[in-house]
Amino acid sequence: MNIFVQGIGVVTPLGPTRLETWAAIGRGERAPRKLFSNEIAGRKYFSCPVPGDFVSDAARQPRLRRSGTISLLGAAAGFDALVDAGLKPDSKSDNRIAVVFAICSGGIKYTRRFYHEIVAQGANSASPLLFPETVYNAPASHLAALLGIDGQSYTLVGDSSVSLSAIHFGVELLTMHHELDRCLVVGTEEADWLLADAFASWRMATNQNRFEVYGRASGTIFGEGAAAVLLGRTGTLAVSYSSPGLPFWSFRKCAIAARELVGRSNSERAPDLIVGSANSTFVDEVECTVFSDAYPTVPVYAPKPAIGEALGASGLLQVAFAGLALRYQELPGTLDAGAKLSSINRQTRSFKGSEALVTCVGFNHQVNALKLRAL
């Protein structure tokens, strides 16, 4: 059975929908950086936050008025995907649509903030608004409630590759459950100082306001945002390959796992473009090795220097950009591209192609890949 992407939704620091974000990326814009710090630790890092007015429409929904940013981002991206598919977001879905969320560290952040208020201000001062968001399934629950879904709603927790696993899970749901018409897959992430500080202790986050990819690895900048794809059984953009992911047990074996996964996705010909997950960490070296060996002439686009590392949302953002590139036949230029990968695309340009490969190398020892084909 063929499964198709019927709609694409995006919320990033560059725009509140797929249209504004894609236009900004095509112009070579970089998401504004914001410095955030911890008064006790004294360490500072940059992040790429989403402006509050980008989720203002979602915040006006009665069911979301007390929701955190991470849930608002997910709802906004989900609504954008439904609109892109020509559907009206409402509470009359008749339970024929499933919701699958991909998330990385959302619940942990709200738990940290909740207990920080208890320690800093006393138990009576801790905001009850934070407590519901400490549950990983909160964003999925909010969106399911808005759409009137009380059946098929799931949340997958993982690293930056979890979004691709969520799409694979959505494909399986539609394949096995014929009572479902569609599946809305959403990835969402909210930036937090604790996250950056933890990754900095592993030399995977930088305190500079930009980072190079496929060059000198300096550590990444964390961003926030959300992306969504609406899957169905008809359409013009097919999911030609998906995978639950493949684990690796050491950095040394990461390239082996990535090469095996890309090999599994091989079709009769090479893809016309690759959207990679380079973020100025060990990920870049792995993708350099695999791309140079398997597809030395295929152009590669890496979006993270423009919008930051959005973890739970990043894989779906890559899929969204791959789908938009095939739709508009335009390939964005990679900002701050290093010299180690000769096939990196450095300037926005038009191209002709029908197949895109998306790869994700996660921090938590998981790699994944997905292919889209425009019919």
First and final CA of the chain: distance in angstroms? 15
Model pLDDT, residue 67: 80
Average pLDDT in the 219-236 region? 98
Pairing of strands 300-301, 273-275: parallel
Domain ranges of the chain: 4-235, 238-374
Model pLDDT, residue 127: 65
pLDDT higher than 70, residue 93: no
Model pLDDT, residue 121: 81
Model pLDDT, residue 177: 95
* Burial of 35 from C-beta contacts in 10 A (0-12 / 13-18 / 19+): exposed
pLDDT higher than 80, residue 334: yes
322 confidence band (pLDDT: 50, 70, 90): very high
Mean pLDDT of the chain: 91
Average pLDDT in the 230-259 region? 92
Model pLDDT, residue 129: 62
Model pLDDT, residue 332: 98
Model pLDDT, residue 188: 95
Residue by residue, DSSP assigns 238-300 as: EEEE--S-EE-SSHHHHHHHHHHHHHHT--SS--SEEE----SSHHHHHHHHHHHHH-TTS-E
Instruction: State the Cα–Cα distance between residues 165 and 117, nearest whole angstrom.
Output: 35
Sign of the alpha-carbon torsion through 303, 197, 283, 248:
negative
Model pLDDT, residue 80: 96
CA atoms lying within 13 Å on the CB side of residue 213: 31
Q: What is the pLDDT of residues 280-289, one digit of tens each?
A: 999 999 999 9
Report the greatest alpha carbon distance in the chain.
63
Model pLDDT, residue 126: 65
4-235 against 238-374: fold identical: yes
CA atoms lying within 13 Å on the CB side of residue 91: 8
Average pLDDT in the 258-277 region? 88
Q: What is the pLDDT of residues 126-169, one digit of tens each?
A: 666 666 777 888 889 888 888 777 778 999 999 999 999 999 99
Q: For residues 46 and 209, is the Cβ–Cβ distance under 8 A?
A: yes
Q: What is the pLDDT of residues 17-53, one digit of tens each?
A: 999 999 999 999 999 999 988 767 789 999 999 999 9
Domain 238-374 belongs to what architecture? 3-Layer(aba) Sandwich (3.40)
Q: What is the pLDDT of residues 47-86, one digit of tens each?
A: 999 999 999 988 888 877 778 888 899 999 999 999 999 9
pLDDT higher than 70, residue 365: yes
Domain 4-235 -> CATH class: alpha beta
Stronger pLDDT, 370 or 123, i.e. the higher one: 370
Model pLDDT, residue 125: 67
Q: For residues 180 and 196, is the Cβ–Cβ distance under 8 A?
A: no
94 confidence band (pLDDT: 50, 70, 90): low
